[in-house]
Structure 1
Amino acid sequence: IFCIFEVIASTVSAGGVRLVDGPNNCSGRVEVYYAGQWGTVCDDDWDLLDAKVVCRALGCGVALEAPDQAHFGQGRGEIWLKDVQCSGNEGSLLGCSSDGLGSHNCGHSEDAAAICEGQSVRLVDGPNRCSGRVEVYQDGSWGTVCDDNWALLDAQVVCRELSCGPATEAPHQAHFGEGSGSILLDDVACMGSEGSLLECSSGGIGNHDCGHDEDASVTCMMDGISRVRLVNGPNNCSGRVEVFDSGQWGTVCDDDWDQRDAQVMCRELGCGEALEAFGSARFGKGSGSISLDDLACSGSEVSLLQCPHSGLGNHDCGHHEDAGVTCAGEINVCGRTEQGFI
């Protein structure tokens, strides 16, 4: 018997989240995927900041409520998380503080839930779902955003809201073509940390002095192709860190490489928690370019490329300093659970 595996976008990885038994995909009981199965979250300390992380991870816009006491019915099986305490900016519930996976004293009568506003932003007429003209949903219809003061911080919020990684460009002047209908936002001024474009300061819904020739656009890093990978390790969740830039894969220097950087890398790959951050080419020396140096992640970034660094291609390293990482990722492979696959 042969098993053939293909890594596709719909593969569920450790740390994946879903909302079930609600009226739609953006409302329901919170469930987290770990160790090959879905489990619930205990409602102890569950609040709107925790729900905000769930809603953003699902591309469901703003969190409206964080119900407790099995509001959408009791789950079954494992209870994976308890005492979740998110700041609201994490890319995954597993990035939030908690008692640890599987540690709890709860019953399913305490299952946590989330109610999200639903998808409130989209990118259209671009080459893929992560690049295009920005449109916002309000009062039953989609409208565009004026490019007055439109900048990369605004684009960053859109990309994160859509789970598209970091923003790379914030084009003006209807770069992806003119929209039609309403212009819903103008003078948007995001700080970059908001969970939704509608949380950013603006002139107010429907207030503008623009035409569709000023429609704002966004290009995000993630277009369905992973920009990071782990190689030369025992599995896909352990190995030398490599980043895709300018048509080729390059390594990461171990200067300042630490557990927080590794945490971002593991989460970006859907490989769960970071177990160890290695330096000194632990998984062998790479070849070609060294893409990143002096990484300084906070640990909550969605992508390694969002972290502060010395600039793509700027470094003072050799390949004997290539960084590596080992993550705790798991997936069910041919009927058995194995470490380190996505």
Structure 2
Amino acid sequence: MRVVYTDPAWAVDVGGELDPALAKIEREIYGEDIEIGLGIRRDGRFLIDGAEFEDHVAGADALVVYRARVTQRLLDAVGPSCRVVARQGVGLDNLNAELLRAQGLWGFHVPDYCGDEVSTHTLALALALERGVCVQDQLVRNRAWNIHAGRIPRRTAGLTAGIVGFGRIGRATSRKLHAFYGRVVAYDPNVATDLMASHGVCPCASPAELFAVSDVIVLHPELTAETDRLVDRALLRSCKPGALLVNTARGRLVDLPAVLEALRDGCLGGFASDVFSPEDPNDDEIGRELLCRPDVIVTAHRAFLSAESEISLRQRVAAGVRHVLREGQPPPAGRVA
């Protein structure tokens, strides 16, 4: 049997090349009777479409995707041998659960492996904006010592933090926000207000209400048709002047041109993001303009990352795939089809 990992970031060595020796965790779990394919890299990036990629995945018994999108063309390229598709991460936006169901394939992700890491990264970005950490770091390094340069910090104990999306990660973030902010509110139409109350969080009836009362807004919803470009010009017009916006969920939750406009006119006081669409903001004109601004902080889609979370994710994905291939049974957890 053969399992193809379409774009495994963990299999890339310090020189940017694929190293099969890095698949030690997977080999220990799969054993000798399951072959592992580790994708194709060109010019420092994984190929996730095109003829060469399709030839590589052909005949696989299982696919493990990271950023690659599950499409009809991909499944056609793999062929009838495929029995399961796993997402090496949180979220279903590129797993295409509806298509997998239609094709009669099992699919799963791992929705709970990095809650501590993402919530901590969210706080790190929010507090870095609050305290002007990145601006000050660059000024001091450039021999421009100036205590008051950049954003003048606010006393966070008197401020309100708002969370959009109160699932596993939103709840973990709320616990940490309470240590720094005087009040925490949340919006999630799928979560009961009683549950929010049990976390000491006040519910908001709409995103506009949350934006109107929050001094810092953090985004944790799933990317769906309803949340795609949720943060647009209309919503940003409702926000509290000078509010900070932090996105560690999905790049397409925000309309970047609207965010840039809100930063320019002072509606937003700062923007921090770990995620973009396209993935690297350097590949987008608006993204490049945002990178030039001192009121913007970015990281390279690594909020999930720790040594512990990466090991756990790889083990759980491999164990789930092995279970389907060897037992002929659905994956034990994170099942979506």
Q: TM-score range by the shorter chain?
A: under 0.3
More strand by share: 1
Greater RCO, 1 or 2 (C-alpha within 8 Å, sep 6+): 2
Q: TM-score scaled to structure 2, two decimals?
A: 0.25
